[in-house]
């Protein structure tokens, strides 16, 4: 996602002093002209408002069901010393552009790499999850330090690295490691890209990372190209003469988990012009079902996507011989997002696909309607062996 280390008094004291310039001061007037409207179109979990002297970043969905949100001020470093804010107005104040950063999800790495800022990454919890060849090279060169596990991140190592900020990933607001880092004066920025349920919503989080590097224009350009390509592919899919039926997921122990009808994957399948058999369900995550109920509803489905971790028909049959009863098994129409792995076994799909939904959609269209994209080379979703 290592044991916790006690943090020595001198380390805490030193870094409390070192990062004092990034902390909130008690107050003078910071009135600004009216903020420009947030440029975020698809993402539901954050907003950006650019003022004359700084940018306000608000994270409104840091985790599923969150009742709290976070507010941050991103201030150009040359203006930071002269800026003061009322105590409590912001959860963190960050000087930009940042030069050293710690992130906690591989999806963050994909966005940072797209912005050309991979060299700023100095730490990550459990680097074996990283699949990007460029990032793995930095891990091998010891430029990206392994910080243990996300839930028990090595706080002493983080303090010694003294990054400009930490991009945090949480499933709730209880994270003692982040509390320790905050008390040392380092900004911890909560993110919620994983909560987004639409393909373009996830991809738009590149705009979340851009202001930290003062690369808003680059992010806008990158996302605009992805958006255009995605919408063009979606329009192309509507030209298909048939709408094949689809099932998803597979068995974990005795439960078959299918994608909910309001989930990220269900949106892809709809935009690829398929008939997803659980499209009318309200769940945004997965739905746990019995093998019998999936057989009853999906035995005749034309295609089957993402059958758990199995990457071959033999492995799928060995897990449960009843898999052979599905028409998609018989016709060899099963495709998986687990076929491509990084050097240490991390799944490339989960790291890079959220940043490139246009390619995911083209993969699906190429599989479901091969006549529409005859020259497309599958990248994220590939046939079982």
Pairing of strands 121-124, 145-146: parallel
**Residue 7: its pLDDT value, please?**
33
- Confidence label for 34 from pLDDT (cuts 50, 70 and 90): low
pLDDT in tens, 131-159: 999 999 999 999 999 998 877 789 999 99
Mean pLDDT of 163-192: 85
pLDDT in tens, 216-246: 999 999 999 999 999 999 999 999 999 999 9
R_g over Cα of the chain = 23
pLDDT in tens, 349-360: 999 999 999 999
Rounded-to-integer distance, Cα 74 and Cα 92, Å: 9
**Residue 33: its pLDDT value, please?**
47
Write down how long the chain is.
385
- CATH code of the region 9-225: 3.40.50.1980
97 upstream amide cis, omega within 30 of 0: yes
Pairing of strands 245-248, 145-146: unpaired
Mean pLDDT of 192-205: 94
Rounded-to-integer distance, Cα 380 and Cα 112, Å: 20
Residue that wins the pLDDT comparison between 347 and 308: 347
Mean pLDDT of 269-282: 98
Question: Residues of the chain with pLDDT > 90: what percent?
Answer: 75
Q: What are phi and psi of 181, to 5 degrees?
A: -65, -40
Instruction: Match 């739905």 to its residue by tokens.
Output: 287
- CATH code of the region 238-383: 3.40.50.1980
**Residue 338: its pLDDT value, please?**
93
Domain with CATH 3.40.50.1980 in the chain: 9-225, 238-383
Mean pLDDT of 367-372: 98
Asked if 363 contacts 376 with a C-beta cutoff of 8 angstroms, the reply is yes
Rounded (10°) angle between helices 357-368 and 216-237: 10
Say if residue 327's pLDDT is above 70.
Answer: yes
Q: What pTM does this model have?
A: 0.87
Instruction: Match 């650019």 to its residue by tokens.
Output: 50
pLDDT in tens, 206-215: 999 999 999 9
pLDDT in tens, 85-117: 988 899 999 999 999 999 999 999 999 999 999
Pairing of strands 303-305, 382-383: unpaired
Query: What are the residues facing 75 on neighbouring strands?
Result: 95
**Residue 248: its pLDDT value, please?**
97
Q: What are phi and psi of 294, to 5 degrees?
A: -70, -40
**Residue 8: its pLDDT value, please?**
34
Q: Where are the alpha helices (DSSP H) in the chain?
A: 9-18, 77-80, 106-114, 133-140, 155-161, 176-183, 199-203, 206-209, 216-237, 264-271, 291-298, 313-319, 327-330, 348-352, 357-368
Tokens matching residue 356: 């490139």
Say if residue 22's pLDDT is above 50.
Answer: no
pLDDT in tens, 280-317: 999 999 999 999 999 999 999 999 999 988 899 999 99
pLDDT in tens, 36-63: 666 899 999 999 999 999 999 999 988 8
CA dihedral 314, 319, 325, 330 (to 10 degrees): -20
Question: Which of 313, 359, 314, 355 has its CA nearest to residue 336?
Answer: 313
When the pLDDT of each residue in the chain is averaged and rounded to a whole number, the result is 88
């Amino acid at each position: 996602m290592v044991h916790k280390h006690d943090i020595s008094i001198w380390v805490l004291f030193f870094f409390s002093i070192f990062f004092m310039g990034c902390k909130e001061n008690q107050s003078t007037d910071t009135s600004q002209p009216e903020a420009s409207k947030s440029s975020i179109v698809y993402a539901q979990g954050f907003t950006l408002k650019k003022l004359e002297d700084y940018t306000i970043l608000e994270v409104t969905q840091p985790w599923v069901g969150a009742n709290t949100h976070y507010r941050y001020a991103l201030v150009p470093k040359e203006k930071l010393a002269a800026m003061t804010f009322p105590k409590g107005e912001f959860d963190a104040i960050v000087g930009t552009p940042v030069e050293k950063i710690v992130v906690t999800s591989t999806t963050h790495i994909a966005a940072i790499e797209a912005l050309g800022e991979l060299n700023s990454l100095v730490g990550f919890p459990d680097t074996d999850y990283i699949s990007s060849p460029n990032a793995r090279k930095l891990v091998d060169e010891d430029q990206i330090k392994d910080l243990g596990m996300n839930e028990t991140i090595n706080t002493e190592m983080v303090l010694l690295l003294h990054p400009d900020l930490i991009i945090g990933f949480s499933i709730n607001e209880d994270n003692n490691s982040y509390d320790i880092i905050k008390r040392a004066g380092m900004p911890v920025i909560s993110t919620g890209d994983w909560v987004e349920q639409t393909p373009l919503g996830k991809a738009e989080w590149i705009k979340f990372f851009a202001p930290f590097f003062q690369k808003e224009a680059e992010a806008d350009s990158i996302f605009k190209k992805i958006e255009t390509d995605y919408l063009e592919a979606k329009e192309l899919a509507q030209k298909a003469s048939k709408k094949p039926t689809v099932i998803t997921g597979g068995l974990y122990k005795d439960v078959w988990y299918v994608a909910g009808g309001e989930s990220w994957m269900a949106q892809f399948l709809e935009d690829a012009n398929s008939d997803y058999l659980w499209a009318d369900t309200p769940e945004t995550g997965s739905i746990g079902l019995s093998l019998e109920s999936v057989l009853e509803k999906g035995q005749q489905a034309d295609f089957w996507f993402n059958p758990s971790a199995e990457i071959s028909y033999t492995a799928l049959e060995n897990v449960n011989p009843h898999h052979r009863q599905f028409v998609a098994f018989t016709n060899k129409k099963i495709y998986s997002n687990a076929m491509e792995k990084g050097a240490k076994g991390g799944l490339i799909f989960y790291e890079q696909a959220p940043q490139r939904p246009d390619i995911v959609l083209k993969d699906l269209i190429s599989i479901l309607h091969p006549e529409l994209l005859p020259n497309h080379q599958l990248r994220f979703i590939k046939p079982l062996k």
